[in-house]
Amino acid sequence: SYELTQPPSVSVSPGQTARITCSADALPNQYTYWYQQRPGQAPVLLIYKDSGRPSGVPERISASRSGTTVTLTISGVQAEDEADYYCQSTDRSGASVVFGGGTKLTVL
C-alpha cells in the first residue's frame, strides 16, 4: 500500500527554522498538502497543491518538493507553532487518500 513517511518528532528553539520532511518510495504525480493540528483541536489546512498558502497562513510557513521528498519549512518558529503536522497526498490511482504518520513539532 502507498505510504508517506514523516519523522515522528522535530525540536527547535524559538526563532529558528523547522523543517519537516515527507517522503515516499515514489511520490506520484499528485499534489501534496500539509495540515497543522494543535492539541485538542481539529486539523487546519496549511499548504495546498505542494506550495500554496491559504489566506491567513503566514508567509514564514512554506513548502517545497524535491524528487520523492516534500518539505514543510517554518521560519522564525514561535511557541504557537508547537503542534502535530501531517502531510497528505493520494495514491497513484487517485482513489485513495493517504496521510503521513504525523510529526510532533516541539518548541524548546
Partner 1 sequence: EVQVVESGGGLVQPGGSLRLSCAASKFTFSNYWMHWVRQAPGKGLVWVSRLNSDGTTTNYADSVKGRFTISRDNAKNTLYLQMNSLRVEDTAVYYCVEGPMDSFDIWGQGTMVTVSS
- Where on the chain is the footprint of partner 1 (CB under 8 A)? 1, 30-31, 33, 35, 37, 42-45, 48, 54, 84, 86, 88-90, 94-102
The least distance separating partner 1 from the CB of residue 2, rounded to whole angstroms, comes to: 11
Report in angstroms how near the CB of residue 15 gets to partner 1 at its nearest: 28
Q: Quick one: 12 or 44, whose CB is closer to partner 1? A: 44
Nearer to partner 1, 51 or 75 (CB): 51
Select 9 or 16, whichever has its Cβ closest to partner 1.
9
Taking the complex as a whole, the smallest distance from the CB of residue 106 to partner 1 amounts, in Å, to 16
Q: C-alpha grid cell for residue 13? A: 528553539
Could you tell me the CA-to-CA distances from 3 to 24, 25, 93, 99 in Å, in that order? 6, 8, 14, 8
Q: What is the DSSP string of 2-25?
A: --BB--SEEEE-TTS-EEEEEE-S
Q: How many residues does the chain have?
A: 108
Choice between 7 and 75, CB closer to partner 1: 7
How far apart (Å, rounded) are the C-alpha atoms in residues 79 and 108? 8
